[in-house]
Structure 1
């Protein structure tokens, strides 16, 4: 795999993973009490994953229980 001249340490990638995981669990914790806040939090996870994917092309996939009416 070509790295396009970027050098990322494993520590930087681990920090990104932890930040994304923390954001995910914070959003998941809001699902019952603040569904719109949870949706905003999950959107941020997607944005963070897209930024990370530019670095290593491995976005995380997970199930979420966000009410569908929030997407309408």
Structure 2
């Protein structure tokens, strides 16, 4: 959440909530409220909980998901 705020994202919410909650969030954002979740939900990545990764491991996973490091080495 801190990173979202730092880079200027006005609101951020994970999609693992009910449709009613999402609609409420959208309506609140439309009137100018900035909305961030209090915590990141815990999800399983393989056999590991997302909360068990170190910040460096999270950074590596982010790079892998965007394809960084897949360039061919000459």
User: What TM-score, normalized by structure 1, do the two folds share?
Assistant: 0.28
Higher strand share: 2
Higher helix share: 1
